[in-house]
Structure 1
Amino acid sequence: MTPTTHLGARAPDPPPHRAAIGATPSNTRVVLAHRPSGRDIADCFRIERMPLRLPQNGQLLLKTELVSIDICSASRMQEHAPDSDILALGQVMPCSTVSRVVASRHAGFKAGDLVLAHTGWQSHQVVDATSIRRKLYPGVAPVSTALGIYGMYGFIAWSAVREVCQPRPGETMVVAAASGPIGATAGQLAQMRGARIVAVTSSEEKCRHVRETYGFSVALDRHADDFADRLRLACPDGVDVFLESVHGHCIDTVMPLLNDGARMPLCGMMEGELWPEPATDRLPAFLDAILMRRLVVRSFTHRDIARLHPQFLVDPGFISDMGALLRSERLRWHEEYVDGLELAPLALSRLVRGDNLGKLIVRVG
């Protein structure tokens, strides 16, 4: 699997649709074949090809162009996932997609329109047109951004900064997983408000990336032997905001540094949710810190997204604010591409290992 990368203000958009629909296309689906044992998840899927019906009145036939690879997909595969999230055997992995209208039986859409959908790991789907709430316009922002900085991940970051982080000039904000789409976006938004960003990543390569790409002055590798010492030196006045968006690896190190009244948005799964391991009970100490230091803690997850499915992500404040920042090129982002729908399981495996850099996307065709 050889990914391609893109960085900056423009991303490659899918080519324009020119061919009219002829014979009914078949649908290629990537479905869960069995549940994972340990961390080996790439071989848990199988490829299916099925005939696809044409749309009826009020429906659209969509062709998937880009597929979002999300860390929550790995948790959906587990037997202990919440009932509303668990992926049944034989089911297509759900996720946000950039899809093209191939055939329309609804006056609001025409063949060739690009939309933000939720069709998952499959090449086509027939959907009710009313389920699609957001068309995508390359002139506003590259359509790929609807899966990252201008989609669910950007919305989580934007909401967390506005509603909980509320950074003020001179404050110190520690951003875990600062090279990922949530951390990188939230860090940039907070930096625009005058906060000093201490970025935490998982390798020296990612440290260089966030310094050079996003302008974060301090970047630390959380796997370094002296990480705790380096973090204390980087935060001489303590920590005012801590944004956690990865498996909780930094909480123990950051907690002693949190100032009175510090804000702590949680935008990722805690350690052990994906791969349960024995751990000591740290909840009493955490609750004590919330009480004694008046910490503000709030979660932001995909369940917050408009209100659950990303195709409803049409919050006018978000669309306006982030659209303006993207058009003015004040925000930067990084995308990594994998070509071929059949490689989605390998891409997910790669994401779970932390081998990707930035937003991971599969180009379907």
Structure 2
Amino acid sequence: MQNNKRFILASRPEGMPDETHLHLEEVPVQEPGEGEIALKTLYLSLDPYMRGRMNAGASYAKSLEIGDVMTGEAVSEVTSSNVAGFAKGDLVIGRTGWQTHSVATPDLLYKIDPALAPASAWLGVIGMPGFTAYVGLREFGKPKAGETVVVSAASGAVGQVVGQIAKMHGCRVVGVAGADDKCEYVVKNYGFDICVNYKDDDFEDKLKAACPKGIDVYFENVGGKVFEGVMKLINDFARVPVCGRIAHYNQTKLPEGPDRLIPFMGQILIKRLMFRGFIQSDHLELLPDFRRDMSQWLKEGKVKYQEDVVEGFDNALTAFQGLLQGRNRGKLVIKVA
């Protein structure tokens, strides 16, 4: 009988997760019961939020328990089905985790149309990251023509989409990324007006030069020194959708002082700033709009995307470590089968 390879959470990491925290094991493939569908994973999505799910404590989603299969969304092929409407060979997307085979109920799956976009793209530009960009910018960034929008992690799965939608609104779009080739890519391929490398010694000077009229919308993906530089240029009534803070995901302790919370709160008040943390799953009523709009944008060539495809399920942990270190170029997916 064919085995199911899967990564399970063996212990909770402090800092960067490694093989002592995520164990690769093999178990027999599960047979579907009544009302269930058997799946073979084709593509596995790797995303920064997964690091937070490995921690204990309260968050916007339940933490993994020790022994759980590592959480993650995947595109899978139906291998057998005990559910009407799902047939062998259908392609579906669902949160089936880091494993090569799975069994799921239909309420946890969405049948995808590969004619609209390639299978892997349903984990990126027309999937959860694209929807995250769509929700955050539309609902909370509210960009207006002529405004300056700054996007951190500009070449990532979310950032690349944010910038392109902001350009459709007539905005000046400034990207921030951690490598010169990433900056070149977003300007050349996604139409960003300019992109700044936050690792440069003169990053803040370059960001200021890129934003001569200040910053009206900051799409926050990283935190750290990028956030600090942006806040020195933020305009009155600016909007800051807070999507992620990847610079802090592997921190083991708070940074040393001084405590900047009091002046930060003062800046929020004086400049009448709007900060809004959001999770895309709180806005699923917008999903039909997003799929309609993104399908049309892709068809018309208004939105482009880059994928970083890693071959082989066994390489998922190494690829995930690279994601947390910014080594990926575009949306990171594992080609499983």
Q: Aligned pair in 2 of structure 1 residues 42, 195: CA closer, same or farther (>3 Å)?
A: farther
Q: Distance in 2 between matches of 1:54 and 1:305?
A: 34
1:128 paired residue number: 105
Deviations 1:287-324 (A, max 9, x none): 211111111111123553639xxxxxx82111111111
Q: Kindly provide the amino acid, as one letter, of the partner of residue 262 in structure 2.
A: P
Question: Which of residues 45, 52, 65 in structure 2 aligns to 1:68?
Answer: 45
TM-score by length of 2: 0.94
2:264 paired residue number: 286
Question: Is residue 2:90 matched to residue 1:107?
Answer: no
TM-score by length of 1: 0.87
Deviations 1:99-127 (A, max 9, x none): 11100111111000000111110111111
The count of residues paired between Structure 1 and Structure 2 equals 335
Following superposition, which runs of at least 4 residues in structure 1 exceed 6 angstroms of deviation? none
Q: How does 1:320-359 map to 2 (within 5 A)?
A: 320-359=292-331
Determine helix, strand or coil for the equivalent of 2:104.
strand
2:279 paired residue number: 301
Q: Distance in 2 between matches of 1:345 and 1:271?
A: 19
Determine helix, strand or coil for the equivalent of 1:102.
strand
Determine helix, strand or coil for the equivalent of 2:83.
coil
Determine helix, strand or coil for the equivalent of 2:96.
coil
Determine helix, strand or coil for the equivalent of 1:49.
strand
Unaligned stretches of 5+ residues in structure 1: 1-23, 308-313
Question: Is residue 2:22 matched to residue 1:50?
Answer: no
Q: Kindly provide the amino acid, as one letter, of the partner of residue 103 in structure 2.
A: V
CA RMSD after TM alignment: 1.9
2:153 paired residue number: 177
Q: Distance in 2 between matches of 1:149 and 1:115?
A: 16
Q: How does 1:1-365 map to 2 (within 5 A)?
A: 25-80=2-57, 82=59, 84-132=61-109, 134-269=110-245, 271-279=247-255, 280=257, 281-301=259-279, 303-304=281-282, 306=284, 315-365=287-337
Q: How much does 1:203 deviate?
A: 1.2
Determine helix, strand or coil for the equivalent of 2:182.
helix
> Which has the bigger relative contact order, CA under 8 A and spacing at least 6?
1
Q: Distance in 2 between matches of 1:252 and 1:46?
A: 37
Q: Distance in 2 between matches of 1:39 and 1:81?
A: 20
Unaligned stretches of 5+ residues in structure 2: none
Q: Aligned pair in 2 of structure 1 residues 191, 84: CA closer, same or farther (>3 Å)?
A: closer
Query: Does the Cα contact within 8 Å between 2:152 and 2:177 map onto a contact in 1?
Result: yes
Q: Distance in 1 between matches of 2:241 and 2:168?
A: 18
1:4 paired residue number: none
